[in-house]
Structure 1
Amino acid sequence: MIAAVVACFVIGYIVIVFEHPLRLDKTVPALLMGAICWALLSLGFNAGALDIVNTEGEVFSMFNSISGDAMEVGHAGAHEEAEEGFVGALLHHLGKTAEILIFLIGAMTIVEIVDLHRGFDILKGWVKTRSKRRLLWIVGGLGFILSAIIDNLTATIVLVTLLRKLVPDREQRIWYVALIVIAANAGGAWSPIGDVTTTMLWIGKRVSTAGLMEFLIVPSLICFVLPFAVASFMKPFQGEINMVELDEDDEEKGRLLSSKTMLFLGLGMIVFVPIFKTITHLPPYLGMMLSLGVVWLVSEYIHPEEDFTEERKVQYSAHKALSRIEMSSILFFLGILMAVAALETVVVNGVGALRAVAESLRAVIPSEDVVIIILGFLSAIIDNVPLVAASMGMYDLQNYPMDARLWHFIAYSAGTGGSMLIIGSAAGVAAMGMERIDFIWYFKKIAWLALIGFAAGAVAFIVIESMFNIGVTH
């Protein structure tokens, strides 16, 4: 039965990887995989064919519960305790997954409210240069900073939209877009709200906000700066660009009375979430709920237009913003995280399956740094969300407490390794879809730049850790 659970996960994962050739939304196999894995787990557990382990490390079996004093309360009592153990494990994983999903829904809704009020159009006025090289650094810097605030996916979408206004030639524009993917992924790696994977590690109490920023800002900067420094000497970024000239009327049409207010309010409330967590010690999703409530409240009463009527109000409402968020992505995370949780719960050699994999890896590859670098390369091929979820199950908090160097290196590798292929990150997939960037073109022209940035940042992390003994050494 354990083989059936693992086979279900592997098959589902393969279907997700080949979503483009199969023309199947990856949400479908993710949901099926999550549900079927737990169904197989339940059937096997109730039949006595497999055991499960909860988050405290207690092992439960339907016919021979060995958790605590179950054997002393009789056969019926042991069965009841085993059933409660299974349900408790399921609810625990569902609760942890729900924390991430609620956080993401709140953040995505705030960003959509800002976008409805054309808040991101304010950024267009900040770009005045005609130099190709200077424009590269401006949009790259914006990508690095914005991705740390509004996440790398949203930052990429915003900047691709901005570049469409500034660079009319698509052949020239895709070079900028491709480099933005590198900048956005690097910027998202050092922020708890910059990437889904860092958010997972943050909510899962593997990393702290201060820890991520302190330990990863330098490697992330190197991962961003080095590829851009090399690219700035390449032919596509030499000379001047024929930018689209916007007259004052066009600029006014692109903005609303509420644009600036909603931009700074939205970004400010997202940044407030880590502060709220630090002050109250409450889970981040509660801070995001508060932030969404404030932004929603202001959006209900602010007047975006001169002659604002109740009929126009719906065009800028949070209800419309909610209809624009990608629920398919939310459901994908639900399916994939619950599937990974099933592997974390099923017992192999006395421990969870993912923990058993970690122990096997340690036996084959003693260096954890090598394992995590391999994780970075894998994140370029397959989605980094399940990879990070799996690593959280492989390494426990007892041996690797919050802000251990392992977690910081995982955050860096999984966050930036995806830049090596266009399909390796959410930012890359978004750019690929918006500008129809060819996989082979990106692999030939950009992958090597992403590789040197990733490798240099990884070396910097290891060197800095060695010099200053950052984190916890195991």
Structure 2
Amino acid sequence: MLSAVIACFVIGYVVIVFEHPLRLDKTVPALLMGAICWALLSLGFNSGALDVVDSYGQLFSMGGHGVDHLSDAAHHDAEHGFTGTLLHHLGKTAEILIFLIGAMTIVEIVDLHRGFDILKGWISTRSKKKLLWIVGILGFILSAIIDNLTATIVLVTLLRKLVPDREQRIWYIALIVIAANAGGAWSPIGDVTTTMLWIGKRVSTAGLIEYLIIPSLVCFAVPFLFASFMKPFQGNLVTPELESDEGVPVSEERLLSSKTMLFLGLGMIVFVPIFKTITHLPPYIGMMLSLGVVWLVSEYIHPEEDFTEERKAAYSAHKALSRIEMSSILFFLGILMAVAAIETVAVGEVGALRAVAESLDAVIPNQDIVIMILGFLSAIIDNVPLVAASMGMYDLGAYPVDSKLWHFIAFSAGTGGSMLIIGSAAGVAAMGMERIDFIWYFKKIAWLAFVGFAAGAAVFLLIENVFNTAG
């Protein structure tokens, strides 16, 4: 039965990779994979063929002969353990989805009010190379403040205004994924994995910034330096202005609420980590509050525009909700629940992912190499369970807060995902919003992400092993 669960995951992953040749939306195999993996896991568990492990490392089993040979109390405990594990993983997945829905809705509300036209007006260059560096630096900085996922959503929306040609635009967006993941690695709120390590008291805010900002800068700058000499970023952009019915260029049309909604929207997203710090509540609660505030303002700001009720509806949050990529939300649901099923399957007395991590540690004695492999794996498998497994592998007593180990895990898991388009939340969001082909990204961008990851890792190890040791 274990083989069936793993086979289901592998087949589903392959179908996702080849979604364009198969002409099948990636959401379909993701949902099927998530549901079937858990169905197989449940059948195997209830028949006694599989054991499961919850997030606290507790093993639940129906025994080798299945449910009929268990006492009522033992059966209840085992069944409750399985159900509780499923609900736990669904809850963790829902946290990500609610956060994503809130962020995407706020961005769409700002876009409906033409708020990003304000940013567009600040970027006057038509040079493809200069634009690459401008949006890259924006992605690197924004991702550290509002997380790599939200920064990617904001910049994809901005690039739709700046680069009308989709074939040209996806090159910029692919590089933004690299910049956003690099920027998120040195901030405790920049990536879900760094947040996990921060909340788990493995790293501190000051420690992350001190030890990871230079490697992260290298991870961002090296790919962009190489890309600057590539053909897609040579020359100038051709951006013909669209005209309205009155003959006025659309980009010159302004709403009185454009600037207000831009700063309110971005400000409320930035407020989320502040809210978390003050209340110690999960980030999705702060995002719910931020969305509520932006929605409230958007309902009452239009009388100053002297709009009719019909025209106000075109700028409402309801309209924004209809524009978000629900297929991307469902893709996240399927893929994260499928990974959770693999994490839950017991191999011996630990989960399958934990077993893989321990095997790597036993086979490869050099810890730095193990963590770099973790970075490569994070491009294939969701980095959240990988980081969770690594947190369980290494004892906090042996590796205290801000040890080299935890910083390297934060860097590798955060930036390694850039090597595949589905290897990070930022990549998945970009893939969903612009329908970027997996194979195209692998052929054109993966090597750039690898070069950046390798360069950043080398700089990190040089600083830690040479300068810090010498000091």
Deviates more, 1:366-375 or 1:351-360: 366-375
1:82 aligns with 2:78: yes
* C-alpha distance in 1 between matches for 2:364 and 2:121: 51
Residues 35-56 of structure 1, C-alpha deviations (whole Å, 9 max, x = no match): 2222222222222222222233
By how many angstroms is 1:139 displaced?
2.7
1:455 aligns with 2:451: no
AA aligned to 2:371 is I
* C-alpha distance in 1 between matches for 2:409 and 2:363: 19
Q: Which residue of 1 aligns with 2:37?
A: 37
* C-alpha distance in 1 between matches for 2:75 and 2:287: 40
In structure 2, do the counterparts of structure 1 residues 398 and 360 end up closer, same or farther at CA, with 3 Å as the change threshold? closer
By how many angstroms is 1:281 displaced?
1.3
AA aligned to 1:56 is Y
Matches within 5 A, 1:241-280: 249-250=248-249, 253-280=252-279
Instruction: Check conservation: 2:241, 2:249, Cα contact below 8 A.
Output: no
Residues 244-298 of structure 1, C-alpha deviations (whole Å, 9 max, x = no match): 6899953664432111111111111111111111111111111111111111111
By how many angstroms is 1:392 displaced?
2.1
AA aligned to 1:7 is A
By how many angstroms is 1:175 displaced?
5.7
Matches within 5 A, 1:346-361: 346-361=345-360
Deviates more, 1:430-439 or 1:457-466: 430-439
Instruction: Check conservation: 1:277, 1:283, Cα contact below 8 A.
Output: yes
In structure 2, do the counterparts of structure 1 residues 397 and 438 end up closer, same or farther at CA, with 3 Å as the change threshold? closer
Q: When the two structures are aligned, how many residues end up with a matched partner?
A: 460
* C-alpha distance in 1 between matches for 2:439 and 2:37: 35
Tell me the TM-score normalized by structure 2: 0.82
Structure 1 residue runs without a partner (length 5+):
66-70
Q: Once the two structures are aligned, what percentage of the paired residues are identical? A: 80
Residues 324-359 of structure 1, C-alpha deviations (whole Å, 9 max, x = no match): 222222222222222222222222122222211111
Matches within 5 A, 1:21-420: 21-63=21-63, 75-149=71-145, 152=148, 155-156=151-152, 159=155, 162=158, 176=172, 178-191=174-187, 194=190, 212-232=208-228, 249-250=248-249, 253-303=252-302, 306-379=305-378, 382=380, 386-393=382-389, 395-396=391-392, 399=395, 405-406=404-405, 408-420=407-419
By how many angstroms is 1:122 displaced?
0.8
Deviates more, 1:55-64 or 1:116-125: 55-64
Q: CA RMSD in A?
A: 3.9
Instruction: Check conservation: 2:358, 2:393, Cα contact below 8 A.
Output: no
Q: Which residue of 2 aligns with 1:68?
A: none
Residues 276-322 of structure 1, C-alpha deviations (whole Å, 9 max, x = no match): 11111111111111111111111111128732122222211112222
By how many angstroms is 1:438 displaced?
8.1
Deviates more, 1:39-48 or 1:240-249: 240-249
Instruction: Check conservation: 1:422, 1:442, Cα contact below 8 A.
Output: yes
Instruction: Check conservation: 1:137, 1:228, Cα contact below 8 A.
Output: yes
Instruction: Check conservation: 1:388, 1:410, Cα contact below 8 A.
Output: no
Instruction: Check conservation: 1:167, 1:241, Cα contact below 8 A.
Output: yes
* C-alpha distance in 1 between matches for 2:431 and 2:56: 42
* C-alpha distance in 2 between matches for 1:101 and 1:433: 14
> 1:396 is paired with a residue of what secondary structure?
helix
Instruction: Check conservation: 1:203, 1:283, Cα contact below 8 A.
Output: no
Instruction: Check conservation: 1:131, 1:239, Cα contact below 8 A.
Output: yes
Instruction: Check conservation: 2:327, 2:432, Cα contact below 8 A.
Output: no
By how many angstroms is 1:367 displaced?
2.8
Structure 2 residue runs without a partner (length 5+):
none
